[in-house]
Structure 1
Amino acid sequence: MKVFLFSFLMVSACFHSQFLESYPEDQVSYTGGDTAFYKDFHQILKDQNISPCENKEEMYELKLVVYEDATVKIVKEQNAEKLERNKCTYEIIKKVLPEMTGWNPAIYQDKKMPAVAEFPIYLNDLFDKFPNGYAASKYIKQPEFPGGLQKFRNKFTGAIRIPNLDHTNGEFTLRIAFEVNEQGQMENVRLLDKTGYDRFDASIIKGIQYMKYKWQPGSLHGIPIKTTLKVPIHFTFH
């Protein structure tokens, strides 16, 4: 019998051990995906007869690390005020997670690795009115850049300073990832693809960090949330 463990030892958001910041696109952190995660969460609420929070608008952005042995640890919330606002939801999460047994370690280069998984928890969706096939992602409004995504691409390509690269021609597409926080600011910029030219890769990251434009943040039921975006950018060299 496989035993699944849960630890309440909080993981610092800045921990230094090697881990993946997100799951590979063809893998899921929970068997059956987000739909199964929320279904199991809902069932545990019922089985344990857990009462809803008094504040129906509480929403906690659960972020945790799934380790190689299928144990999980919550990533420590850095915003104490946000944690206090959603304290009831957070305490319920701590009751429910130890009962959830569907965790899958990430596989990267044929090796199990710790990886970050994220689940927005809007508890009011998960009690009596829980709909079949529910996943929070179905109710999330994505962030919007003023003028649209193409405007962002144009602003981005104008912001980067491309270094001289020998023997470089042709065209390729890179995917960049970043988070848009609750205030509409970009954070945690990273490349999902590498070019093999370190100076070029660094110039892309620096270009995005240089951009000070604000987004309209994503939201769940009208509540601003931190959202991860993955944006393809096309380059042509002659």
Structure 2
Amino acid sequence: MKNIFLMFFLVSVSLYKAQILDEYPEKQSFYEGGIVNFYKDAHEYLVNNKFKECDEKEIYQPRIIVTEKAEVKFIKDSDTANIARNKCAYDLSRELLKNLKKWKPAETKGWKIGAIAEFILYPKDLMSNYQPGYDANKFVAHTKYPEGAKAFHTIFHDNFMMIFEDYQLNGKVNLEFYISKDGNIIKPRIYPEVDNKNFNNDFMRTLARIKKVWIPAFYKDIPIVERISFPVQFSITFTER
């Protein structure tokens, strides 16, 4: 009996540690010393190795996985047109991912666990314009729904309440989508996944119907893509938080 319990415990631990979080827990960073230290090390690496600075309009936003072993993996970007427009910044991001060493996994319940992270790479501010304490996020004007966040939440509630009632699902999920540089909703998904194909189809069709052009995010005067994520608690009586 003891051996069976031990085997079950080891398998449970193995499965838990193999998971990948969709984002880092609040107040945790993907890099030792936090985002400011990441940009400092990135600046020093690029300048000390005499990399050529990109055009001032080039910017790139890598998505990565930092594993529980502190290894970094690049998430493939399917937007080949954006890569082509920002090829120099894209290449520099790949160099940093290969050569910086202080990647930090997420931690939850005492375990190190892999997690997805993303950051802004604007080479000009990272190289010739670099200032101590630089954090790209401080220069971002975030995306906005034209009528404001409260109006979007109201529209979201009014459109989705019937779906949640129809399927009588109980639980908490996160809705994620990105706002493109043109202000459109792209890459929508629900996580953790809801194991109901009909629900997922209805959810995505409803989201498509309420699509509206948003005000995109900007890094200084350059439009960028921004991720929107918020928790949804659904049941027969629906609430969105």
1:223-234 mapped onto 2 (5 Å cutoff): 223-231=222-230
Q: Secondary structure at the match of 2:214?
A: coil
2:211 counterpart of 1:212: yes
Q: Secondary structure at the match of 1:61?
A: coil
Q: Secondary structure at the match of 1:60?
A: coil
Aligned partner of 1:145 in structure 2 is: 145
Aligned partner of 1:25 in structure 2 is: 26
Work out the CA distance in 1 between the residues paired with 2:165 and 2:31: 42
Work out the CA distance in 1 between the residues paired with 2:189 and 2:94: 31
1:122-141 mapped onto 2 (5 Å cutoff): 122-141=122-141
Work out the CA distance in 1 between the residues paired with 2:190 and 2:70: 27
Q: Secondary structure at the match of 2:119?
A: strand
How big is each residue's C-alpha offset from its partner over 1:98-146, in whole Å with a ceiling of 9 and x where there is no partner?
3312111122444333221101111010112212211111111111111
Of 101-110 and 71-80, deviating more is: 101-110
Work out the CA distance in 2 between the residues paired with 1:97 and 1:224: 24
Gaps of 5+ in 1: 1-16
Aligned partner of 1:183 in structure 2 is: 182
Q: Secondary structure at the match of 1:120?
A: coil
Counterpart of 1:102, as a letter, is K
CA contact (8 A) 1:159 1:210 kept: no
Gaps of 5+ in 2: 1-17
| Distance apart, 1:179 and its partner CA | 2.0
| Distance apart, 1:42 and its partner CA | 0.6
| Distance apart, 1:211 and its partner CA | 2.0
Over aligned residues, Cα RMSD in angstroms? Answer: 3.4
Work out the CA distance in 1 between the residues paired with 2:180 and 2:166: 34
How big is each residue's C-alpha offset from its partner over 1:45-71, in whole Å with a ceiling of 9 and x where there is no partner?
222122212x22110111111112111
Aligned partner of 1:163 in structure 2 is: 165
Percent pairwise identity: 28
| Distance apart, 1:227 and its partner CA | 0.8
| Distance apart, 1:150 and its partner CA | 1.0
| Distance apart, 1:159 and its partner CA | 0.7
Q: Give me the TM-score of the superposition, normalised by structure 1.
A: 0.75
| Distance apart, 1:149 and its partner CA | 0.8
Report the CA distance shift for 1:209/1:28 in structure 2 as closer, same or farther (over 3 A): farther
CA contact (8 A) 1:156 1:207 kept: no
